[in-house]
Structure 1
């Protein structure tokens, strides 16, 4: 992130620009000189790795412990007299899409290596393969708001809005980890990576001292950043400029500098900028004509330099190049009031998904912890695609005749195994059926009265195909109702989800209410299962989709009920998963608590009944873990190797990849085609398209050792179709972590 190589240059070659500061002292000095409350503007996305210090990160997130971390972090600044303002990325600007895709692909590589490690060793890898829990950014924004903090979700590039806010409000500093903040002529740039919360000290990167070292003015820094390479202007496109700069640097005898090669590069490019820049060009803010560039590259650098120009300063056609469009992508389908509220909720971090759909026509989702080698579990992007389509339908089709002939598709940039990310998936809205005659979105959002409240709940449940659960509103906690809706939706969409998986999901949601963060930290895991890791991430991504469905429906449930710290803990879920698949008694699974057991059985019965109505018969597929034959003595059991795949729980016939190869909008080059329409469920009165009749299983009975005593389900008979010849050998070869 930021300017390529500038961070290392600052720390290794320009130590005079790296000043250790005490934030308490800095706050007192700022208050004395400015007569204002000292405010620190925080780049939320850059802080996530700093904040998430919980032991487990692969299991889906230790959310209650994480909430305590955030609370303590905020209190440390509050006690120092520092006000915090948080910014989170709300959009990905198209000029940065290429860089966004590159980063997502790099993280995909880390995720793949992480899963190979788990399957080989049955434990979490070290921090060198650390990946943020799925959905961490989305829910951190909500968590900070619940702690009473001021939170903004950006309408354009977050770095720009952070620097703009800090400059306009004379903030004491910007806390982040991005060298773009030293290029902006804004508040001082403070490092979150160097932050010591116990002493409230960190490193300040001094903009003026950097300029003195490299011989430039602050106004010349944007051109330096573009020539070195940043998120707008890639390093590759400026490579010839830097090469020429290094040659000129050596010819004039300036290469006697003994520092690192990157240090020479920064100094050489700075020398080039200084030699090219005439006074009149500097004042006009133009790109020096003597910099020999083609017209496309000149326009690209213009955009790159405009990116650093803040409000109130002369700009290079700043208004024309602004990333914030005032026009909505679908303004003719919704009222101006809807657009206004949608924008306000987005900025406040409350309107998940709606702003991207109505105002941009684009939504994106970053990397999720899912195994690209697993052919049995669909990626979350495809699992929740039918849900998103119905959310789009609520936002765009309510109050209309339901025709989608002239309605543009939503562009989805979702990261999942098999997606090359060369272009977005084009996804069309799908209407939902409501009891009244085409109610408008304005009625759903702004109407009053019990009838409207019922309509909102019906809309929300229809998106998830769980209309029968309306009777549970008020009878169970809202967080448990949300959990039940989500698990039911997962079961209907993913045919390889078993009874044991449902037990794990529901038991941890029920038991979580009685556990403190300390108790959750003490949950013991003998080993990790790669499949449980995926199921944990799938659930958390589902909660984000519930936020979107709730927002689109006018918020029938309080947003707090959809937060993971109320219905999910990754470590607890993983524990319940291992117990359920090991054949543990139901009472033991519920920690011997009779009230928890009663609630669990009630929710499970509702789920089974709803699924049965849709032709989805839940099956018992206990995959009892076994010692991997390749494990060395002392190693933990594997969590996703052969021992898990041989237990009779795998769906035969090649898994979802072979079944889900239909494409929407004719994109045959994509292996899985964004899921197409193949995974879209029919209405509640019929079978899902990918129904149980297409999910054959081994005829071998493989129930856990205690399942005859549990007796809680009406068990469906095993499918008798045998696996294809050689399927077992092929699957074992594919799942070998050494391959």
Structure 2
């Protein structure tokens, strides 16, 4: 939620509302007050309730964000952030959005469309400049909110996932437990009659200072009582009551306000002052006594009910409901949509695990019958790679089939699940209706209840079998316990599924995915920070997000099957780093040897070859031929007004210098002779350069181009829109020039995220 225009009003036009505060001193004062009425225990420690969704943008301060996330570094930032509070005795409680209220779906859709437009600008910037754009186009890495919940739990923090509006649950928790404050960046918190609202945007972590928004001062400036603030918020507009629905009310309020203020615009924040004046004028004894929306507003019946619902959303438990308002007493998310198909024991466990942020996806399926996924870093202008929503659709259908099994005796058809997934070409007007697909398991397989609560080998093997079956990787069950880390088994499973689903993925792509999964385990976050890139590939950016979204599906499948793997093994910081993946992608497509991909590390190379052969063997069994399609360095796109060797507009690094860096990557390939030459690989596959996109890559003809909003079928051929290389071939005929390649620190990253 968020009140339209109120945050700017309190920040810029309301002296006395924003009060600087030292959180260390504030905690000491709060503790002194609470100890007067209760014994000083761990639970009485000063508690700060944190709006996790509002903090994500401030937590993720890593330099790289387009390449899929620098997850180990991000974890180190979370550790530092948490320690800054706990070291001074402040207890943190985190809340994250767990559901999307269907009444707010239109606002959710509007925001998703807006972010999609921003992502398109990011990819256009990468294509033109070859580097990451600045902060004005900053987008959170895909899956950040989901995995942050698990990261904070791993740090021993108390984390909650909402079953209704998260802002309401945050304010309710803070009010109920007498918390010292709410840390977030949402103007709704100054409307709730709860704990003090503290700004995360103005937080200085080193000094532990920020500003507190004084609700009493705001009321004094506006001439309102605290119980009148919800009506003010709804007329201004929020996620329940849109600005458009109350536009005529605000127009009348502005006209009345300006009659008393003959110089329009002279009063800063006049819209808020005008609505406050309106609320004062219509709030009579009738409204105060009955709690009804004043009839003098002259609203239509639908607008009246909408406004009542909006005002009611700010009333916390014990603060009294609005009499005469037709609103359900049971809060959203407490009733189970699929209760006819799932046992009460499953329902109870599902809700408990969701609230404590121990599971993913299962609550949405069982309780809501709705699954949504926000924006993903995908290039809508490049249709070669399928959107992640389509790549993992079969996985989700099987997950639904596990959670909602058919009755074997009655063969009752279970209901479909509604999906709201954001991708180019999806207008988001209505959800897609997706039917569960049951797994082909034997008759004596244990029930879902046995999978979730059973113990011993009789259920551990079926758990793993169902998990692997969701990704069509049943044969990998023999590898469980033999691969040194569960995260590698998860990576193997994910890469195999991707290659089976996306026909356009090549041997080089498989090498990039697997080599970084093997290498990232041995790199610290400081080492990963030093990985440098000569240029960015838009395709690699999308492939990185595709992988991270796949980890989310692995997590959902793991939770649905009773947890055959520890959830920690499925976290991105165990098997993925965006910067490292991008470097491996560029190396793999420039023809680097396997030894170079694995940093000349013998044991890592052996492990990589084993994993690679397992992927290729699984593909062979299913009739999938994985071919080599090395991609050349992209030809720089210059604007018509940029002379060669000059800087492109808005960029501070010489483009010609970046071209040299790109050529350095290209030279690693050791350009082969113009004649066709064969190369064998450990997987037993051979390719002939010049066929299937070898060398500069295959350029599709005009008739092969697809519409920007259409996608090739997963089983169909792909399109390679990369330009052919104009670089001269190097190396002796028949003997590639295999120079050892290192990611040298002397190559500085051409652009940081805040430039």
| TM-score higher than 0.5 | yes
Conserved 8 A contact 1:48-1:137: yes
Q: C-alpha displacement at 1:440, in angstroms?
A: 1.7
Q: C-alpha displacement at 1:657, in angstroms?
A: 6.1
Q: Which secondary structure state, in structure 2, belongs to the residue aligned with residue 333 of structure 1?
A: coil
Q: C-alpha displacement at 1:232, in angstroms?
A: 0.5
Question: What does residue 610 of structure 1 align with?
Answer: 618
User: In the TM superposition, what are the counterparts of 1:305-454 in structure 2 within 5 Å?
Assistant: 305-316=311-322, 317=325, 320=328, 322-397=330-405, 400=408, 403=411, 406-437=413-444, 439-454=446-461
Question: What does residue 308 of structure 2 align with?
Answer: 302
The structure 2 residue matched to 1:225, chosen from 210, 229, 233, is 233
Q: Which secondary structure state, in structure 2, belongs to the residue aligned with residue 15 of structure 1?
A: coil
The structure 2 residue matched to 1:691, chosen from 715, 723, 728, is 715
- Structure 1 Cα separation of the partners of residues 734 and 407 of structure 2: 52
Q: C-alpha displacement at 1:451, in angstroms?
A: 2.1
Q: How many residues align?
A: 677
Question: What does residue 648 of structure 1 align with?
Answer: 697
Q: C-alpha displacement at 1:412, in angstroms?
A: 0.6
Q: Which secondary structure state, in structure 2, belongs to the residue aligned with residue 364 of structure 1?
A: strand
Question: Does 443-452 or 224-233 show the bigger shift?
Answer: 443-452
The structure 1 residue matched to 2:93, chosen from 85, 89, 95, is 85
In structure 1, stretches of 5+ residues that fail to align are 660-670, 680-689, 711-739
- Structure 1 Cα separation of the partners of residues 149 and 561 of structure 2: 21
Q: Which secondary structure state, in structure 1, belongs to the residue aligned with residue 186 of structure 2?
A: coil
After TM superposition, the score normalised by the length of structure 2 is 0.86
- Once the two structures are superposed, residues 517-571 of structure 1 have per-residue CA deviations (whole angstroms, 9 ceiling, x without a partner) of 1000000100100000000000000000000000011100000000000000000
Q: Which secondary structure state, in structure 1, belongs to the residue aligned with residue 210 of structure 2?
A: strand
Q: Which secondary structure state, in structure 1, belongs to the residue aligned with residue 340 of structure 2?
A: helix
Question: What does residue 165 of structure 1 align with?
Answer: 173
- Structure 2 Cα separation of the partners of residues 502 and 485 of structure 1: 12
Q: Which secondary structure state, in structure 2, belongs to the residue aligned with residue 84 of structure 1?
A: strand
- Structure 1 Cα separation of the partners of residues 480 and 410 of structure 2: 29
- Structure 2 Cα separation of the partners of residues 516 and 705 of structure 1: 35
Question: What does residue 23 of structure 1 align with?
Answer: 23
Q: C-alpha displacement at 1:315, in angstroms?
A: 1.0
Rate the CA distance shift 1:649–1:465 in 2: closer, same or farther, 3 A: farther
Conserved 8 A contact 2:50-2:95: yes
Conserved 8 A contact 1:434-1:458: no
Question: What does residue 40 of structure 1 align with?
Answer: 48
Rate the CA distance shift 1:11–1:455 in 2: closer, same or farther, 3 A: same
Q: C-alpha displacement at 1:325, in angstroms?
A: 4.3
Q: C-alpha displacement at 1:627, in angstroms?
A: 3.7
1:289 matched to 2:295? The reply is yes
1:12 matched to 2:36? The reply is no
Question: What does residue 562 of structure 1 align with?
Answer: 570
Question: What does residue 197 of structure 1 align with?
Answer: 205
- Structure 2 Cα separation of the partners of residues 473 and 78 of structure 1: 39
Rate the CA distance shift 1:695–1:6 in 2: closer, same or farther, 3 A: closer
- Structure 2 Cα separation of the partners of residues 205 and 197 of structure 1: 18
- Structure 2 Cα separation of the partners of residues 294 and 645 of structure 1: 67
User: In the TM superposition, what are the counterparts of 1:536-685 in structure 2 within 5 Å?
Assistant: 536-628=544-636, 630=638, 632-633=644-645, 634-635=654-655, 636-637=658-659, 647-648=696-697
After TM superposition, the score normalised by the length of structure 1 is 0.88
Question: What does residue 679 of structure 2 align with?
Answer: none
Q: Which secondary structure state, in structure 2, belongs to the residue aligned with residue 249 of structure 1?
A: helix
Q: C-alpha displacement at 1:285, in angstroms?
A: 1.9
Question: What does residue 523 of structure 1 align with?
Answer: 531
CA-atom RMSD in angstroms: 2.6
Q: Which secondary structure state, in structure 1, belongs to the residue aligned with residue 94 of structure 2?
A: strand
Question: What does residue 3 of structure 1 align with?
Answer: 3
- Structure 1 Cα separation of the partners of residues 604 and 164 of structure 2: 46
Rate the CA distance shift 1:695–1:402 in 2: closer, same or farther, 3 A: farther
- Structure 2 Cα separation of the partners of residues 511 and 523 of structure 1: 12
In structure 2, stretches of 5+ residues that fail to align are 36-43, 646-653, 667-692, 737-755
Question: What does residue 187 of structure 1 align with?
Answer: 195
Q: Which secondary structure state, in structure 2, belongs to the residue aligned with residue 290 of structure 1?
A: helix
Question: What does residue 235 of structure 1 align with?
Answer: 243
Conserved 8 A contact 1:216-1:270: yes
